[in-house]
Structure 1
Amino acid sequence: MRLEVTREAAEAMVAAARGAHPREACGILFGREARIERFVETANVHPEPTRHFEIDPQALIDAHRAEREGGPQVVGWFHSHPAGPAEPSATDRAMAAPDGRVWAIWGEENLAFFRAVEGGFEPLSSAIVDG
């Protein structure tokens, strides 16, 4: 599967990662199926935000509620690795539900995308697209 990511969403993820450094940035990806159309940064409420992330639960509730009411579809999650590569960490693998959602990870000046599947993650090829 090839994932399309709007330039605006990709740039917003990179800006969030750089702005949060040395903490992990995080947020919610919106779009449809194989397309990320929008990224919304959320608070990282984890007690150790320089090493882990936890998306603000209220932001998750609000996003899912809006989706149920006809709003944008929640397609996945974003977080940064301020001191590591753009690939799922051991913690990511342990915490991810195999629900098919997209995980976008920024690390070492790279943005990469993965799908959470049974047994871990599968890398996704991606293309940055206008609008």
Structure 2
Amino acid sequence: MILLPRALLKEIVEAGEAAYPEECCGLLVGFGETGGELTVTGVERSPNMAGEEAAKRFEVSAQVRFDVMRKLEDGPKRIIGHYHSHPDQAAQPSANDLEMAWEPDLVWLITSVADGQAIHTTAHLPHPDGSGFSEITLRTND
């Protein structure tokens, strides 16, 4: 299960709507154990570095990731996942997502955006063997 404050979900949804028709992306910061309960305490936006393919895939900036890792290196919080949007597609992992799922301990938060309007957000964990994803419970709170 992943717990996401409504204010942070709103930030992710707004990023997806603003990036439409391209995918938005960023990192989820928080604490907890993968496979147990995870709590998101912050989101870090990233430019989508996928270039001409930004409408169907995402790539978090290496600089953004490095900066976040440095900021968190001696504290209890860590990168627990990333988020991105699916323009005019379901909030389910795509074949492109599966190709990029090389960190099985990171949550994939996906927001479906249709005609510039966010519709649905889901959370997933990649299978360690790379065969797919399992949807996990996403809960919001104040």
Deviation at 1:31, TM superposition (A): 0.8
Contact kept? 1:79, 1:105, Cα under 8 Å: yes
Query: Which residue identity does 1:125 align to in structure 2?
Result: T
Question: Is residue 2:109 matched to residue 1:110?
Answer: no
Q: How does 1:12-91 map to 2 (within 5 A)?
A: 12-33=11-32, 34-47=38-51, 48-70=53-75, 72-91=77-96
Q: Percent identity?
A: 28
CA change 1:59–1:71 in 2 (3 A) is: farther
Which aligned segments of 4 or more residues in structure 1 are displaced greater than 6 angstroms? none
| 1:22-68 deviations in Å (ceiling 9; x for gaps) | 11000000111211121121100112211211011100111111221
Rounded to whole Å, the distance in 2 between the matches of 1:120 and 1:100 is 13
Q: Could you say what secondary structure the match of 2:96 adopts?
A: helix
Measure, in 1, the Cα distance between the counterparts of 2:54 and 2:23: 6
Specify the alignment match of 1:4 in structure 2.
Answer: 3
Question: In structure 2, what residue type is equivalent to 1:20?
Answer: A
In the superposition, the TM-score normalised over structure 2's length comes to: 0.85
User: What's the CA shift for 1:98?
Assistant: 4.2
**Equivalent residue for 1:125?**
137
Q: Helix, strand or coil: the match of 1:58? A: helix
AA aligned to 2:27 is: I
d(CA) in 2 for partners of 1:117, 1:65: 27
Could you tell me how far apart the structure 2 residues matched to 1:72 and 1:46 are? 27
Give distance in 1, aligned partners of 2:55 and 2:125: 24
Any idea what SS the aligned residue of 1:31 has?
strand
The alignment of Structure 1 onto Structure 2 pairs a total of residues equal to: 129
Partner of 2:35 in structure 1? Answer: none
Q: Tell me how far apart the structure 2 counterparts of residues 52 and 3 of structure 1 sit (CA, whole Å).
A: 23
**Unpaired segments ≥5 residues, structure 1:** none
